[in-house]
Chains A and B, each alone.
Chain A
Amino acid sequence: MNWVIKMFSSSLGQKFIMALTGLFLCSFLIVHMIGNLQLFKADDGLAFNKYAVFMTTNPLIKVTSYLLYFSILFHAFKGIMLVIKNNKARPVKYAVQNGAANSHWTSRSMGLLGTIILVFIVVHMKNFWFEYKFGHEIGYTSYYTNLATGVTGSKEMSAEYTQFNKIEEGMTADENGQYRLVIVKDLYKAVASQFKEWYLVALYVLCMFAVAFHLYHGFKSAFQSLGLNHSKYNGLINFIGIWVFSILIPAGFAAMPLFFFFK
């Protein structure tokens, strides 16, 4: 184990950690984006709510999610340690430093952008992850489909109904015919109601700019830190870094609060 400790405690090794955890977090963004696209589905949130149950109960996802939480914390911790180390390398600052002449501002602001993102993650997880898993605010909704006419609808369950980690399916009937029922915890409604608050929408949109700028530098920087710099692939890495991670994904995430705010 000696060589592992030696390697990862060096300045280069610490950057390997930043790169590996960073790229893992990037891969999570893709999954998170694709899953959350279900918010745009006009089904009163049935698909999204079923997906939320799947994401909180599937054992493979659970293991991955713990790895994800660990990666977020480790990436942040290592990042802070590196900022401290790097500040120590220049205790006396320049009176005049023209950084814009030789580097992009995003690359010089990774610590600040990362801090904004960390604060965002805390707020985001408190509002949804914590409330969904441990809170009592989020209620249940029953989605019904009339088997004869195909008419669908939904209605809120009473506050006493609690069936966490489960999708309750069943049948019921009234004078209009038979219905198939799906009862599930309504995270969709929590999303929709929170994103009616202008300050949360503003926070989310601003933080997505931080994500965009962080990844504008961070994605390609991770490859460089791992030594993956080759003229044959650099174009592709830059393209994905800019178009996917600093435009498409942040824009997609920012569209979600805006969609509910203006809905």
Chain B
Amino acid sequence: MEKNLNLNLKVWRQKNANDKGKFEEYKVNNISTDMSFLEMFDVLNDKLVTEDKEPIAFDHDCREGICGSCSMFINGQPHGPKQGVTTCQLHMRSFNDGDTIVVEPWRATAFPVIKDLVVDRSAFDRIISAGGFISVNTGNAQDANAIPIPKENADEAFAAAACIGCGACVAACKNASAMLFVSAKVSQFALLPQGQPERHQRVTEMVAQMDLEGFGACTNTGACSAECPKGISLTHIARMNRDFLSAGLASNDK
């Protein structure tokens, strides 16, 4: 049964990185429960434009839960109250008529606000550049199964590779720690034969970059994994801790 909602929104508005920013209140009426959260924002922005006001800036791209750009902190949780979804996959049926919804950008030193709800997540790109790759000559695709890989490892690596880099882990963490993201990017190679030659160097340099970007340390609260739209497991964090320890112990540094 479709029914329409009238909602009160409290949205973070900030002109640019240097602006102090503040909450603005908006009323949106007649919102279909079949709409996604972003479609509700589209309706609001249409209204703001017709009223000759500045529309709310928010990141979005694929709107099917794979690009990881729709970073919104909704009522105290990244991507809203549902687990395992991104904001674009959050439907308005998760809310009740008359609800007040508070929408904030990701809050982290490493993710400065660019405008309104848009944050700069290029810190993640720099962590990837520091070691989140394998150095191989590209060319023709190899024969399938030329390198034997145990099924469990392939599955586990695939589960790690499901990370879309949305930053919900950082947003949810009380320390704004990027451990879940970095550990997924370390794990996806650490589990596969192709990742072995650079395994120690990778984890060392990615962790160093993570610290440099100003992310917090891990308290193992598990909030990251609980809020991850792709359900990335805490076992990857343990694997990164292990790899980092053995990389330090086995390093050629004296």
Interface residues of A (CB under 8 A from B): 1-4, 6-7, 10-16, 82, 85-86, 88-99, 101-104, 107-108, 110, 217, 220-221, 224-229
Assembled-state Cα–Cα distance A162/B203 (Å) = 60
A11-B210, A94-B107, A102-B172 given; A89·B177 CB < 8 A: yes
CB distance from A110 to the nearest CB of B (A): 6
Given contacts A6-B248, A7-B245, A86-B176, 9 further A-B contacts (CB under 8 A): A11-B218, A12-B241, A89-B109, A90-B108, A93-B107, A95-B102, A99-B76, A228-B238, A229-B235
Assembled-state Cα–Cα distance A69/B129 (Å) = 43
A10-B208, A94-B107, A98-B77 given; A85·B222 CB < 8 A: no
B223 with A90: CB separation less than 8 A: no
Which residues of chain A are near B10, meaning CB under 8 Å?
A: 95
B220 with A96: CB separation less than 8 A: no
**Which chain B residue has the least Cβ–Cβ distance from A81?**
B217
Which of B174, B238, B254 contacts A227, CB < 8 Å? B238
Interface of chain A, helix or strand or loop or mixed? Answer: helix
A3-B251, A3-B253, A7-B248 given; A89·B75 CB < 8 A: no
B245 with A227: CB separation less than 8 A: yes
Which residues of chain A are near B195, meaning CB under 8 Å?
A: none
Q: Return the 10 tightest CB-CB contacts between A and B, nearest first.
A: A227-B242, A98-B76, A229-B238, A89-B216, A7-B248, A86-B175, A227-B241, A3-B253, A102-B226, A86-B216
B118 within 8 A of A: no
B239 within 8 A of A: yes
Which residues of chain B are near A102, meaning CB under 8 Å?
A: 77, 83, 172, 221-223, 226-227
13 residue pairs A–B, Cβ–Cβ below 8 Å: A10-B207, A11-B207, A15-B217, A16-B241, A89-B177, A89-B214, A97-B76, A102-B83, A102-B222, A103-B222, A107-B222, A224-B238, A227-B245
Assembled-state Cα–Cα distance A126/B219 (Å) = 31
Assembled-state Cα–Cα distance A12/B237 (Å) = 10
A86-B217, A224-B234 given; A101·B77 CB < 8 A: yes
Which residues of chain A are near B76, meaning CB under 8 Å?
A: 94, 96-99, 101
B23 within 8 A of A: yes
CB distance from B188 to the nearest CB of A (A): 17
